[in-house]
């Protein structure tokens, strides 16, 4: 057993009675199974295929601990405000792993929409929540997923009933603000009923520059003809370890759309698993990562075409500078008899220095014969011909490089379906490429140690 697995096992033994839901037998069963899975897996995949990643980024989290009591309530306006103009959302805040509220941890609307703390939803609606929370493990779960099962502190619960169109997007903001080195595990559960539609925005931000290990799992269930748009923005401090796993199960004629952008990070892994379980389900996935210095970002995409007449599309792009590392692993499976499948997978990267490293592995696994599938990847530098064209028009080299990078990155922003969010993301892309954007961009504090 690796020392880190032993550390998690000992930590669980010491704090299991203090974890939320410890008095609930079903929750305890989930936690115990998670611990057993962790011991059984013991990070074998990481130690064999990503030994350097495990030793440098994961094993070093030994000693970090969860915050076992909620922080004192503070109005969120004191430490965070969203800079997206004309952007009206239902904002849900998690601070150090705890749901921030003024006394009502679960909001239930007249039309049946439920939004709030997962554990409060368990208390008020056990039959609704447990049928999803106790569902069989995803075939793609790994050691980090098992840690989340064992130690999850809380999470956001969202339930959209059949035939409900949610006009106001739901925004989940996860913040860390602690003098301690935190080990955080949140487990989010989103259920979208038949013919329902909702947009969801998830933001990860830091307030203090302390090392942290954040390991989140989000389960999304889309019923027939459901429409779910998922936006992800990450702007974390260099000391952070951030692991996001999203599992999506789609029924017939449902639509899943995602757009994930990474502006700053320490070590980040975004893992999205999509299971197309009934005919005419469709998914479209876009991603952008802008990393420099010694930042490290992994994007792992798995799409499982289990039945006929489903479609999937992926386009991920990255700009990698200095000594940063970016990895893309895309895996599309087309099962036997999944005829008339349409699948496309593309990853494009620009490296700005000789020390920047990109690994791109698009992969198609096809067992049906009536399909339209393609994949491709590129890793290169800025187009010299385009640079020459701009220079001959009187544009200096620095501005020419920025214009080319901006055009390359903005393609992903153009797919955003919320105009105010699209404008804000374009602004952040411009600032990031100009070297103006840091993790402090979202913060309303003026930190003396930064001379602000």
**DSSP string covering 146-179:** HHHHHH--B-EEEEE-TT-B--SPEEEEEEE--S
Q: How many residues does the chain have?
A: 452
Structure confidence at residue 203 (pLDDT): 86
Structure confidence at residue 58 (pLDDT): 79
Contact between 192 and 220 (Cβ < 8 Å): yes
Contact between 281 and 250 (Cβ < 8 Å): yes
CA distance between the termini of the chain:
46
Structure confidence at residue 445 (pLDDT): 34
Instruction: Report residue 52 as tokens.
Output: 């350097």
Structure confidence at residue 391 (pLDDT): 67
| Nearest CA among 110, 133, 112 for reference residue 122 | 133
- Each domain of the chain, given as residue ranges in start order, spans 70-383+415-450, 384-414
Instruction: Report residue 363 as tokens.
Output: 């992969």
Q: How far is the C-alpha of 185 from the C-alpha of 19, rounded, in Å?
A: 11
- 116: alpha, beta or left? (left if phi > 0; alpha if psi -120 to 50): left
Q: CA-CA-CA-CA torsion for 430, 420, 261, 266, nearest 10 degrees?
A: 70
CA 48 to chain centre: 24
Q: How far is the C-alpha of 425 from the C-alpha of 431, rounded, in Å?
A: 10
Q: Which residues contact 275 (CB under 8 A, 6 or more apart)?
A: 138, 247, 248, 249, 250, 304, 306
Q: How far is the C-alpha of 111 from the C-alpha of 117, rounded, in Å?
A: 19
CA 414 to chain centre: 20
Structure confidence at residue 302 (pLDDT): 96
Residue 186 per-residue DSSP state: B
The H or E element spanning position 284 is strand 282-291
Q: How far is the C-alpha of 79 from the C-alpha of 38, rounded, in Å?
A: 36
Q: How far is the C-alpha of 138 from the C-alpha of 341, rounded, in Å?
A: 22
Q: Helix count (H) and strand count (E) of the chain?
A: 10, 21
Q: Which residues contact 4 (CB under 8 A, 6 or more apart)?
A: 43, 58, 59, 61, 62
Q: Count the alpha carbons within 13 Å of 97 in the hemisphere toward its beta carbon.
A: 27
Neighbour count for residue 107 (Cβ, 10 Å): 14
Contact between 290 and 326 (Cβ < 8 Å): no
Structure confidence at residue 48 (pLDDT): 65
In a structure prediction context, what are the per-residue pLDDT tens digits for the chain, which is 452 residues long? 888 899 999 999 999 999 998 888 889 999 999 999 999 988 887 766 666 677 777 777 888 899 998 888 877 767 666 666 667 888 899 998 999 988 889 999 999 999 999 999 999 999 999 999 888 777 788 889 999 999 999 999 999 999 999 999 999 988 888 888 889 999 999 999 999 999 999 988 777 667 888 999 999 999 999 999 999 988 877 778 889 999 999 999 999 999 999 988 888 999 999 999 999 999 999 999 999 898 999 999 999 999 999 999 999 999 998 899 999 999 999 999 899 999 999 999 999 888 999 999 999 999 999 999 999 998 887 767 676 656 677 677 777 777 888 888 999 999 999 988 898 888 888 888 887 655 444 443 333 333 33
* pTM score above 0.85: yes
Q: How far is the C-alpha of 205 from the C-alpha of 92, rounded, in Å?
A: 14
β-pairing, 114-117 vs 106-108, is antiparallel
Strands (E), 21-125: 90-95, 98-99, 106-108, 114-117
Neighbour count for residue 68 (Cβ, 10 Å): 12
Structure confidence at residue 439 (pLDDT): 45
Contact between 190 and 220 (Cβ < 8 Å): yes
Q: CA-CA-CA-CA torsion for 8, 14, 20, 21, nearest 10 degrees?
A: 100
Q: How far is the C-alpha of 404 from the C-alpha of 402, rounded, in Å?
A: 5
CA 438 to chain centre: 19
């Amino acid at each position: 057993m690796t020392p880190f697995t032993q550390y998690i096992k000992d930590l669980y033994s010491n704090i299991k009675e203090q974890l939320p839901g410890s008095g609930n037998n079903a929750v305890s069963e989930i936690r115990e199974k998670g611990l057993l899975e962790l011991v059984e897996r013991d990070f074998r995949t990481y130690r064999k295929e990503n030994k350097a990643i495990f030793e440098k980024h994961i094993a070093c989290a030994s000693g970090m601990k969860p915050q076992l009591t909620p922080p004192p309530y503070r109005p969120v306006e004191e430490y965070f405000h969203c800079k997206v103009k004309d952007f009206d959302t239902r904002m849900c805040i998690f601070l150090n792993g705890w749901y921030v509220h003024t006394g009502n941890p679960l909001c239930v609307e007249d039309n049946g929409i439920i939004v709030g703390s997962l554990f409060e939803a368990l208390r008020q609606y056990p039959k609704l929540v447990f049928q999803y929370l106790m569902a069989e493990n995803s075939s793609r779960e790994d050691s980090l997923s098992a840690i989340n099962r064992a130690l999850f502190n809380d999470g956001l619960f969202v339930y959209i009933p059949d035939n409900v169109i949610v006009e106001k997007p739901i925004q989940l903001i996860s913040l860390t603000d602690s003098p301690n080195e935190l080990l955080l595990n949140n487990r989010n559960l989103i259920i979208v009923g038949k013919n329902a539609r909702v947009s969801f925005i998830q933001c990860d931000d830091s307030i203090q520059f302390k090392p942290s290990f954040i390991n989140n799992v989000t389960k999304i269930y889309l019923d027939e003809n459901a429409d779910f748009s998922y936006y992800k923005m990450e702007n974390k401090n260099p000391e952070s370890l951030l692991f996001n796993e999203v599992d999506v199960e789609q029924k017939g004629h449902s639509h899943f759309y995602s757009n994930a952008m990474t502006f700053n990070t320490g070590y980040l892994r975004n893992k999205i698993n999509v299971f197309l379980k009934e005919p005419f389900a469709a998914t479209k996935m876009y991603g952008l990562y802008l990393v420099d210095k010694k930042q490290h970002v992994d994007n792992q995409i798995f799409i499982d075409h289990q039945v006929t007449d489903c479609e999937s599309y992926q386009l991920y792009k990255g700009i990698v500078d200095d000594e940063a590392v970016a990895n893309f692993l895309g895996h599309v499976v087309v099962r036997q008899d999944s005829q008339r499948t349409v699948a496309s997978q593309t990853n494009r990267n620009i490296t700005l220095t000789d020390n920047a490293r990109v690994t791109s592995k698009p992969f198609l696994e096809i067992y049906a014969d009536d399909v339209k599938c393609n994949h491709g990847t590129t890793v290169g530098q800025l187009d010299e011909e385009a640079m020459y064209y701009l220079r001959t028009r009187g544009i200096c080299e620095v501005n020419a490089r920025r214009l080319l990078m901006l055009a390359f990155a903005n393609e992903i922003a153009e797919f955003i379906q919320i105009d105010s969010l699209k404008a804000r993301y374009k602004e952040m892309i411009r600032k990031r490429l100009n070297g103006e954007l840091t993790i402090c961009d979202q913060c309303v504090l003026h930190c003396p140690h930064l001379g602000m």
